[in-house]
Amino acid sequence: MKTTLISTMLIFLIAGSAAAANLVDIRINSGDTLWRYEVSSFDIWIENDIQMGGFTLGFKIWSDDGATWSWDVGDYSEEGQNVYCDKNYHVCRSLVIDSRMYPWPFDMVGALLTTYQNVDEIGYDSILSFGVGLMQYMEPGPLEHMYSYYFVAGGEELSSICVDSCFVPPSGAFVFVDTYGAIYTPTVLWEHGGRCWPVKTSYICGDVNGDGDFNVGDPIFLIAFIFRGGPEPWTFLAGDANGDGKVDIGDAVYMLQNIFQSGPDLICP
């Protein structure tokens, strides 16, 4: 009986140990798509099974097909965020106030900071967040949204922005550190080679003049573009009203039928 109890206890201990982990995930606040010219965020999620006394987490951001990005340094304190910026106010990291990271008093040593490196002069290729607790630590806990970096995506339609973990010189290894100084390499929750998101335009179908509405001004705008050398639609996706993959007079006719003859709904891509 005694042997059975000990065996059972060991099984529970092993199972409990296996369930705990040191994990890092990165997500975006807009689901699976980045919308051009709108503020998005890289959200950093952390799970730790150690009493965390510090960490350094470096991320590389890049695009292979024409996407661009610029960091947004707005004040998100009203959205449950506590904002810290680098000394030149180029990159801001916002800490989630109701996360278990928030009470961790990094300010005692002036840490929980961000540095960045601009390599290709299109965007800051790498960002490093790091923190050290003095006389304190972050409690172990499940995967939780801890902090975010806000940015605006741009560039080519249907391009993509990718993120991966990386080493950021001179000392930015991708590690957790416990309260005794032991180093742990967290597991990332994305495929080898990084995680990528498509960059698309948020638009109203038919709104080729970009005034935020679809009305008779749009087919007139499109006709002027096609036959009189008028300005281009602000996004050609909004002009493909009949969904045939191109923007031409057929789309203007389709729009007019929708407006004046109760024609079929617009079916932009």
The sign one gets for the Cα dihedral 8, 9, 12, 17 is negative
| 51 C-beta neighbours (distance < 10 Å), count | 14
pLDDT in tens, 72-121: 766 554 555 566 665 555 666 778 888 888 766 444 333 444 555 554 44
Residue % of the chain over a pLDDT of 90: 36
- Please name each of the domains of the chain with its CATH number: 20-200 (2.60.40.680), 204-269 (1.10.1330.10)
Rg (CA), the chain: 25
Two structure tokens written together for 223: 């006709």
Phi, psi for 163 (deg, rounded to 5): -135, 140
Provide the Cα torsion 103, 109, 112, 115; round to 10°: 170
Two structure tokens written together for 118: 């601009």
Phi, psi for 121 (deg, rounded to 5): 60, 15
pLDDT at 119: 45
Q: What is the DSSP string of 81-144?
A: EEEEE-TTSS-EEEEETTSTTTTS-GGGGT-SEEEEEESSSSSEEEEEEEEE-SS--BPPEEEE
Spatial separation of the C-alpha atoms in residues 21 and 142, rounded to whole Å: 9
The sign one gets for the Cα dihedral 160, 165, 167, 168 is positive
Phi, psi for 209 (deg, rounded to 5): -90, 0
Res. 7: pLDDT tops 50: no
pLDDT in tens, 33-75: 998 888 888 999 999 999 998 888 888 888 888 888 887 766 5
Q: Indicate left, alpha or beta for 62 from its phi (over 0: left) and psi (-120 to 50: alpha).
A: beta
Instruction: Characterize the bridge pairing of strands 195-200 and 34-35.
Output: parallel
Tell me which H or E stretch contains 257: helix 249-260
pLDDT in tens, 216-260: 999 999 999 999 999 999 888 889 999 998 999 999 999 999 999
